[in-house]
Amino acid sequence: MNTSFISTSEVFRLVGAFTFVLAILTVLTSVLAYLPKHPDFSIFSTYLSDIGDTDVWPQILFNTGTILAAPLRYIIIVLLVLQFREIGHLSGGLEITILAIGAVSTIGTVLMTAVPFSVAPAVHKSGIGLYFLGIVFLQTIVGIKELSMKQLPWSLPAWSFAVVACFLIFDFLDVPYYRKLKC
């Protein structure tokens, strides 16, 4: 009997590449659909949440792509845990922590996407908080774990900490915007 299988690392690469392409296409198509009615668009002043809360096509493209990407992102987290397990560098408690934080972040993504700000501001903002804080905690834990794994290139934890820095900078710069919003 001939059995063949796909390794965890191959699935990780395939799902990661597909999810990356989906995310890029989601943002690009949404922005292109948003531009005709919003010529003042700027990546420095327009929130993706604004695009997901507009008329017809920008909202459909952005929200559909983001809702599709959320569970795929969680699958990537599961595959990352399996990769760490295969290498032998992950305790059961850390696995559960990573999977739980990943689930919280994924739920946050779904909440902020499925519930636009104009419909339920408190739910939308709660989703943003769960997503952003989830990513900060998740990438910090993953980056620290990657640092302890000598067989990994230094660039992996560097990218993890770069993501954390970007999210913290965005959140810090964004606080005045969210304070002025009324829920």
Q: How far apart are the first and last CA of the chain?
A: 62
- The residues spanned by each domain of the chain are 8-180
Full-model pTM: 0.86
* Count of residues making up the chain: 183
Please choose, from the candidates 48, 58, 163, the residue with its C-alpha nearest in 3D space to the C-alpha of residue 109: 48
CA 131, CA 143: separation in Å to the nearest integer? Answer: 18
182 has pLDDT over 70: no
In the predicted model, what is the mean pLDDT of residues 59-84? 94
Structure tokens at 88: 């032998």
**Residue 131 pLDDT:** 93
